[in-house]
Chains A and B, each alone.
Chain A
Amino acid sequence: MSIALRGVAKQFGEFAAVENINLDVPTGALIALLGPSGCGKTTLLRIIAGLETPDEGQVLFDGRDATLWPIRDRKVGFVFQHYALFRHMSVFENVAFGLKVKPRRDRPTTAEIRSRVYSLLELVQLRWAGDRYPGQLSGGQRQRVALARALAVNPDVLLLDEPFGALDSQVRLELRRWLRRLHDELHFTSVFVTHDQQEAIEVADSIVVLNRGRIEQFGVPGEIYDLPASAFVHRFLGQVNELPVELRQGRAYVGPLDISLDAVATTEGKNIALIRPHEIEVGAAGAGWSATVLAVRVIGPIVRLLMGAEGQPANEPLEAEISRERYETERFKVGARVGLRFRRWKVYPSDAVDHAWQSQS
């Protein structure tokens, strides 16, 4: 089932949770709603589910106006961050719930329910846990039960609210790959909410980046990472170095470096350049912007260098990432003099820099 949002807005008191949201989710897609806390992503998901009614706009399911459909008629499976398993029911009863509450004429027989529940538990690799209670399972297992329960009623749409947010990182990694495989096998339309950009990039077909109740960008993961539409998106997906830029007669200067202008910025004077750590080239002293290596951190396959560039304030070192191989040959040491060049950068007007989310990162 395809989902479309047309001009959707929702207020909570004075607070505008989402404003003028237009979005098309094609049938069978796996979409991530990505953004910092308070950006409206969960509200948007709840509006799609029918747990909230938008103040303005429409929700279309397969082109039909579903804005006012009650949740139980929408055929959506909803999975909560904290699983929301029914604690007084066994795993089997949890998964069977959606089948057992069907009106008598649609309700499968006890034997059919049994076989359906066990095939779902098989799917989530928890066949052995049918008689267990939620309290006896680990977080990852509980979330898989919640998924099986949501899938039991054959939803057209699966909605997941920070599904892996409460799990530790190892389990998280496993579960999100598993979810991707599951989605590829079953082909339902899914929308999931996350604040973790890596999770969004790894799992989703397309990503919707939200900020302050508005869509900043909608696109495939690579595009969003490489061609951010705004300073916010640039900063939210991955790490960036921020450097003040002087615009003089159509040229931009970062420190002594003259960088040509692929910029969003058009105004003369002060702007800001965003440069990702792996876009900084570290070379021999004398070429480019001279700098001193302040710290070296080897993180598995990559090496992170902190550098004090000439003319930069001491408390704002630049961060560069180089490959382990390159580090093995160059052996940059703390205190070494180096020259910096930028492979890529993007210049934004400095008032586009949004500090609101920084405190949360």
Chain B
Amino acid sequence: MPSDIIAAGYAVSYTHTRQAHHPRPRPRLGRLLLIALTLAFLGVFLVLPLLAVFVQAFAKGVSAYLGAISDPMAWAAIKLTLWVAATAVPLNLVFGIAAAWAIAKFEFRGKNTLITLIDLPFAVSPVIAGLIFILIFGANGWFGGYLRAHHIRVVFALPGIVLATLFVTLPFIARELIPVMQAQGKDDEETALSLGASGWQTFWHITLPNIRWALLYGVLLCNARAMGEFGAVSVVSGHIRGLTNTMPLHVEILYNEYNHTAAFAVASLLAMLAMLTLAAKSFLESRQPQLRHAVSQPRDRTRRQQT
């Protein structure tokens, strides 16, 4: 399934801070075996399924593929997915920066709890995340009566889908920013303030340029997950065709109707998104040496406690 591919891409992403510069030793049997094993594993579990998606998608020719994608229901799912991502990602962007800022630049009670809480969506199954919102906003939920009385639809509508997506994607940007901002410390910001800059000028001219690559990277991952999320969205969406079906949900419906070609055609779009994300991620990582160089000025973060 496409969401697996995206999940795999995301799992790989956490190794990006390690870049080996070891001198190359002479090839040995063990090394070759390990490489072969890794490649075989990747081939069977990643490349082959990805290829299968495209093979299936084009099984009945290009026109069938284009037909499946331009189908009004498919098109509605694509548009909905884009809407959800366009809402959830900016909201997470604001939250991510605010949370990372608070954690990296201030000392306060309960900071560790906050960091743990930000990770909560990683630990909770997406299905549970969806059910939480049904419990709160559903017809029999806490606010169900109030919402019905005021004709506000949350679950089985766009707001519910956005909420579920927000929940699932919450950690992505904050997690990318926190280590970068912690490593950079507060000296730059304090210097800017002492030079007469306002808080906004400091953020815009000093903080943002310092975190831009990590921020872009987080946005990218957040977007990939927002578009690919299945479980949480499935619970709150209600599966109304043309209305509340995102792309992953649409793929499932088509598949359950034995419409394999159409299912894989839409899936191929998600797969392409995943590949684009990975390409963009590699590009950003190629900018990492610069980022790393920037961070390499030693910063004494604990000094305030010491002196």
Contact = CB atoms under 8 A, between A and B. Distances in A.
B214 to A, nearest CB: 13
Contacts of B201: 101
Interface string A134-160: 110000000000100110110000000
Interface string A149-176: 1101100000000000010000000000
A76 to B, nearest CB: 6
Given A97-B197, A98-B196, A101-B197, A88 B209 contact: yes
A225 interface: no
Contacts of A40: 307
Interface in B285-307: 293-294, 297-300, 303-307
Q: B interface, by DSSP: helix, strand, loop or mixed?
A: helix
A296 interface: no
Interface residues of A, number: 43
B294 A135 contact: yes
A337 to B, nearest CB: 47
A102 B201 CA distance: 10
Interface stretch (A78-86, A197-205, A306-314): A78-86
A150 B201 CA distance: 17
A84 B293 CA distance: 14
Contacts of A74: 194
A88 B190 CA distance: 16
Interface stretch (A41-49, A236-244, A261-269): A41-49
Contacts of B300: 81-82
A84 B187 contact: yes
A87 interface: yes
Contact of B303 (A39, A42, A84, A135): A42
B191 interface: yes
A37 interface: yes
B188 interface: yes
B194 A77 contact: yes
A49 B194 contact: yes
Contact of A88 (B193, B194, B294, B303): B294
Contacts of A17: 307
Nearest to B296: A135
Nearest to A40: B307
Interface string A178-208: 0000000000000001000000000000000
A5 to B, nearest CB: 16
B188 A97 contact: no
Given A86-B206, A87-B297, A72 B197 contact: yes
Contacts of B299: 82
Nearest to B303: A42
Interface centre among B190, B194, B209, B304 (most CB of A within 10 A): B194
Given A12-B305, A72-B197, A84-B188, 10 more contacts: A41-B307, A49-B194, A70-B193, A82-B297, A83-B297, A86-B206, A86-B209, A97-B192, A150-B195, A153-B196
Q: Which 6 A-B pairs have the closest CB atoms?
A: A98-B195, A42-B307, A84-B187, A101-B197, A78-B194, A88-B209
